[in-house]
Amino acid sequence: MRKINALQKITLLIFALIIYSSCNNPKTTSQIVFENLQKEYGFSETLKKFRVKYKSISPFSHQSYDYKHPEDPINGYNTSTTEIDLENEQFYSHNKGFYPGEFLFEFFHFQKDSLVISYDVNGVLIGKQVEVGEDTFSNVKKRATSFLDFTNVSDLLTYQKQGDSIETILSKEKNEAVIKHMDKDSSINIYTFKMNPTQLLSIESKAKNTKTVFSNYKDVNGISFAHSVDVYRSDNLQRQYVIEELNKITKVDPNKLVIPEGYIVPNKEKVQEQSKVIEIAKNLYLITTPDGGRNMLFKVTDKSITVFGAPISDKVSKNVISLIEDKFPNKNIDYVYVTHSHHDHIGGLNAYAQQNVTILADSYTIEAIKAYPRFEKDINKFKFSPIRHNQILNDVQFFIPKNSHSLGQSFAYFTDSQIIYEGDFLEVPFDNTIPTYMSKVEKEFVEFVRKEKLKIKRIVGNHRNANISLETMNAYYDSNTTKK
C-alpha cells in the first residue's frame, strides 16, 4: 500500500470537511425558491419597454343597469392600450370606458417631462380643454403594471436582494411556495407560487384586505404571463383583467406624445374655488363642489327646503347642508331627491338620514338604496317617500322615462323656472362644445324631452356642467344623429 504524506493527508481532510459541510448545510428553502423565481422571472428585470393591451371589468352592483345583475354585459367595461418605457420614464395610454346606456369616455394620457397630459378624444367630458397635472412616474408605473404577474415578481426579487424581511414556506405536497414579505410600513404581503412550472398564483395584502389571483398562463413572444387577473377586496370580486396582448418595443411611439390640433392648453393652473350658494331662479339655488365635478340644487318654500342630489360622499353632503343652514338658518331640510341608484349619486345620503331628512326617489331606486352595502348599519334611520312618473310636488314635476342607463332613473323639472335637474341623462363639457359621440341614453333623454314638449331654459347636470342650454342640447343631438 502506497504511503500518504502529510500534505496529502491535509488535503484529504479539507476535502472531507467540505463534503461534510455541504451535506449538513443544504440550500435553505428561501434560496431554492428564489433561484427558481430568478430562473423563470429573471426576464422581468430586463423587460423595460413593452406594450400591453387589456380589458378590465368591475362587476359593481350599484353601478349597473340593474343592481341585482351586475354581471350583465350591458354594464360595460374598460379597455386600455399602454406603451411604457421604464428606463426613460415615458408612457402613453389610450383608454376607453364603456358604461350602461352606451356611454363612451375615451382619453389619451401621456407623460412629457414631469407632466402628465390628458385629452378627451370625443370631447364628451372635458371638451377641447387639455388637462395637465404633475405626477410621479412611480404612480404611473403602478397603474399601468400592477395587474401584471411578472412586474410584481420583479418587485419581490428586488425586495429579496435588498435584504427585506422575507419568510418562505415550501410545500412539496401542494407544489406551492408561500412567501411573506414585510414592507417598510410593516404591512405584510403574501405571495403564493406554483413551483412546477413556476407561476405566481396570488398576492394577498393584509393591510388592504385584498387578494389578486393570477391564472390562464400563456407563452407569447417568448414571455410567459397570466392572461386573467381577478382582484378581490374583503372576499368580494372588485375587478377582472384580461390581458389581450403583450409585446416588447424598442421605444414609446413619439407620435403619441403630442397634443393634437384643436385642443387648448390652459395658460395657468386652475384655481379651485370654495363652494358657494348661487340663486339661479326664484327660490332655486345652485351649489357646486370646489372641483366643479358635482352640482346640487335646493328649492326653498315657505315651509321647507328640498335638496336635489346627494352624490358621492357624506363629506360633500355635509358641506351642502352647512351652506344651506348658513343661508337659511330658520328653515329645515325636509327632503333630498336622488336621480338613480348608482353609487356616485347616492353615496352622500347617510348625512341626510342622520338629520331625519326624507329621501325622494322612485320605488326601484329606494329598493336599491336599501340594498347598498355601505348603508347596512344605518339603513333603519333612512326615511323614504316614493315618487311616481309625472308626479308634481311643490311645483316640481318628476319624470321616470324608460332608458338604457339605469332602471328607475328619473329627472326633476322645475315648472315655474323651466329648469331640469338630471344625472347621467346628458353629458356636455363645461365649455359647451359639441362632443363627436353621443350615447344611447342621451338620445333617449332628448327624444323624451321633445315628446313631452318641455319648455327648457337651462339643464343642470349632476356631473360637471350646470348650465346646458336648449340650443346646446339640440345641437348635440342633431350633430350626432343627422345622416351626413
Classify strands 383-386 and 358-361 as parallel, antiparallel or unpaired: parallel
Q: Which residues contact 290 (CB under 8 A, 6 or more apart)?
A: 272, 273, 274, 275
Rounded distance between C-alpha atoms, residue 355 and residue 333, angstroms: 9
Q: Is the pLDDT of residue 138 over 90?
A: no
Rounded mean pLDDT of 143-156? 92
Between residues 1 and 301, which one has the greater pLDDT? 301
Cβ 56 vs Cβ 243: under 8 Å: no
Rounded distance between C-alpha atoms, residue 274 and residue 271, angstroms: 10
Q: Is the pLDDT of residue 5 over 90?
A: no
Rounded distance between C-alpha atoms, residue 217 and residue 392, angstroms: 58
Q: Is the pLDDT of residue 3 over 60?
A: no
Rounded mean pLDDT of 192-208? 94
Q: Any idea which architecture 43-256 has in CATH?
A: Clam (2.50)
pLDDT at 388 (0 to 100): 98
Rounded mean pLDDT of 107-136? 90
Superfamily of domain 277-481 in the CATH hierarchy: Ribonuclease Z/Hydroxyacylglutathione hydrolase-like (3.60.15.10)
- What ranges make up the beta strands (E) of 42-102? 49-57, 77-85, 90-99
**Is 52 strand, coil or helix?**
strand
pLDDT band at residue 355 under the 50/70/90 scheme: very high
Rounded mean pLDDT of 53-63? 95
Report which DSSP code applies to 3: P
Q: Is the pLDDT of residue 22 over 60?
A: no
Rounded distance between C-alpha atoms, residue 54 and residue 305, angstroms: 48
Residue type, 142: K
pLDDT band at residue 18 under the 50/70/90 scheme: very low
Q: Is the pLDDT of residue 13 over 80?
A: no
Rounded mean pLDDT of 349-355? 98
Give the ranges where 43-82 is alpha helix by DSSP (H). Answer: none
User: Lowest-pLDDT range, 48-57, 111-120, 122-131?
Assistant: 111-120
Between residues 376 and 44, which one has the greater pLDDT? 376
Q: Which residues contact 316 (CB under 8 A, 6 or more apart)?
A: 289, 294, 348
Rounded distance between C-alpha atoms, residue 129 and residue 27, angstroms: 60
pLDDT at 141 (0 to 100): 84
Q: How far is CA 19 from CA 16, 22, 25, in A?
A: 5, 5, 10
What secondary structure does DSSP assign to 183-221, as a single string? -TTS-EEEEEEEETTEEEEEEEETTTTEEEEEEEEEEET
Rounded distance between C-alpha atoms, residue 67 and residue 294, angstroms: 23
pLDDT at 1 (0 to 100): 47
pLDDT at 198 (0 to 100): 94
pLDDT band at residue 95 under the 50/70/90 scheme: very high
Can you tell me which residue has the cell 380589458?
55
pLDDT band at residue 17 under the 50/70/90 scheme: very low
Rounded mean pLDDT of 387-407? 98
Q: Is the pLDDT of residue 7 over 90?
A: no
**Is 329 strand, coil or helix?**
coil
Q: Is the pLDDT of residue 390 over 80?
A: yes
Rounded mean pLDDT of 426-431? 94
Spell out the domain ranges in the chain.
43-256, 277-481
pLDDT band at residue 289 under the 50/70/90 scheme: very high
pLDDT, the chain, mean: 92
Per-residue pLDDT reduced to its tens digit, 260-274: 999 999 876 666 678
pLDDT at 448 (0 to 100): 98
Q: Is the pLDDT of residue 412 over 80?
A: yes
